[in-house]
Structure 1
């Protein structure tokens, strides 16, 4: 019997593309809130003896996680053979240590929660800084989709004479991979963070870049302050308006407008979080990763 993929609300378009790339049925579920604010979840597509996948990007996760948990638990209760999670954006990965007294490492707490709820996980470029891999904190099989090949393909098609700029040391893992795939030079800036919205970066060595287009690449654009600091230094050096690419466009209120006001040229994101800047699609790679980890999944011809 075919496996079935259920998109949580807001994930329908991404799920439709993934299901098309896989030999699985696109399932339907109903969610709503009771008058007292509690969540209601009903699976409208049968799941008994089937491999079930739930698809939900975990941007602004706190109002999504309870519905995700209820959907997974309901699938098991109704006889699903296994229940997996595709989370194009995986939340709670940045709080990966104890930065202040009394804090917890939320990345590990979330990993335990999701590992207890699902049999496997597929995500796109999680924020791995102090954790070297998801296997360090997740107890279920995981697959990580690398966005670098898709980003590099987009740059080759859309940017003339690019030079890749990573705005901080954490971005080097993406910037270096993309630069290698594109076959162009790259530079990594040094960042000092004074607060959530207060970031300082050093200027790169820009000699020889006069006829090149800077492309700033980072995994997450939230407040945009890291990219804004990089944009300002590049413009001050007399370089053209940089293209800004983020794997995950979290974008706090006003972030895109602030980046544009700072002198950004085009702002582009992968479609892990739905946004007007989405121009790099990752569904096919996500489908391939799910095929690797999901039991008894046959890939569409």
Structure 2
């Protein structure tokens, strides 16, 4: 493979695992910060005529975007044959519509920025709600890697007699896929949100939960309030402490501690966002998608 892999700040650990699966060369990306706060990327070895794979940790993205943009543009200036982005977590997907006067669809603008500096991108389970695929807003080649198979394998290996619980209606189809991979039943709760941090969910059906260990599954865990509300309902139904599984471990502010305090038996996430709860690796599956992009 005539490719060089470089990690943007914060993605070094994930990039190391990814490179191990790809067998490509390791490069070094130096981001020189001038006294006025501007950034100048420097790459070694030379990228001319080679495929460059940039690996970015894109949670809390605003201070990382310029480094990514400039690095991709400089690589093209230096003659890289192609520039690809591995973004295990893809931000700016929630604002997929105008929700209040004076706002815009920032998902489209972020997509235009990345599509203008990269040739391709692979990511894990972006928040696709009003957009059905990334191709609706991204003009570069993209591939979405599902986390469901890896989550199913983890649950099957670590939880006895599981029953999967989706914390809200939006999680229904996704939770069904994970349950099918495990070969266990599932149920989906109904969510009622009265504010950014005020969430209630419906009571789970007792007959589905009887004699099983509940496993709450969601894609993005940010404030964790939906998952906390579901944990409280499961406790009220007399269930054992639930296992909480998330794909992207954003955990804003004290969300992780609050979920623990609510009574979660165990909290597990994929390693798309670096966090102490990471226990489900996605680098091997992402490496397969990268190989397809470079084929």
TM-score of the superposed pair, with normalisation by structure 1? 0.96
Q: Does 1:109 align with 2:109?
A: yes
Q: Does 1:16 align with 2:16?
A: yes
Q: Deviations over 1:233-263 (max 9, x none)?
A: 1101110110000000000111111011111
Q: Deviations over 1:84-104 (max 9, x none)?
A: 110000000111111111111
Task: Verify the 8 A CA contact 1:179 1:185 in the aligned structure 2.
Answer: yes
Q: Does 1:144 align with 2:147?
A: no
Deviation at 1:197, TM superposition (A): 1.3
Q: Residue in 1 aligned with 2:238?
A: 238
Q: Does 1:5 align with 2:41?
A: no
Task: Verify the 8 A CA contact 1:32 1:41 in the aligned structure 2.
Answer: yes
> SS where residue 207 of structure 2 aligns?
coil
Pairing of 1:1-301 with structure 2 (within 5 A): 2-294=2-294, 296=295
Unaligned runs of 5+ in 2: none
In 2, distance between residues paired with 1:85 and 1:196? 32
Task: Verify the 8 A CA contact 1:72 1:118 in the aligned structure 2.
Answer: yes
Deviation at 1:210, TM superposition (A): 2.8
In 2, distance between residues paired with 1:84 and 1:72? 8
Task: Verify the 8 A CA contact 2:163 2:208 in the aligned structure 1.
Answer: no
Q: Deviations over 1:89-148 (max 9, x none)?
A: 000011111111111111111111111111001000001111111111111111111111
Deviation at 1:57, TM superposition (A): 2.1
Deviates more, 1:227-236 or 1:12-21: 12-21
Task: Verify the 8 A CA contact 1:48 1:78 in the aligned structure 2.
Answer: yes
In 2, distance between residues paired with 1:83 and 1:67? 14
Deviates more, 1:283-292 or 1:31-40: 31-40
Task: Verify the 8 A CA contact 2:187 2:208 in the aligned structure 1.
Answer: no
Structure 1 180/37 Cα, relative in aligned 2: closer, same or farther at 3 Å?
same
Root-mean-square deviation (Å): 1.1
In 1, distance between residues paired with 2:189 and 2:97? 23
Runs of 4+ in 1 over 3 A off after TM superposition: none
> SS where residue 117 of structure 1 aligns?
coil
Structure 1 194/208 Cα, relative in aligned 2: closer, same or farther at 3 Å?
closer
In 2, distance between residues paired with 1:184 and 1:164? 7
In 2, distance between residues paired with 1:203 and 1:45? 58
Task: Verify the 8 A CA contact 1:29 1:45 in the aligned structure 2.
Answer: no
Structure 1 112/208 Cα, relative in aligned 2: closer, same or farther at 3 Å?
closer
Deviation at 1:156, TM superposition (A): 0.7
Q: Residue in 2 aligned with 1:299?
A: none
In 1, distance between residues paired with 2:117 and 2:190? 39
Unaligned runs of 5+ in 1: 297-301
Deviation at 1:193, TM superposition (A): 2.1
Q: Deviations over 1:187-223 (max 9, x none)?
A: 1111122222111211221225231100000000001
Task: Verify the 8 A CA contact 1:31 1:40 in the aligned structure 2.
Answer: yes
> SS where residue 62 of structure 1 aligns?
coil
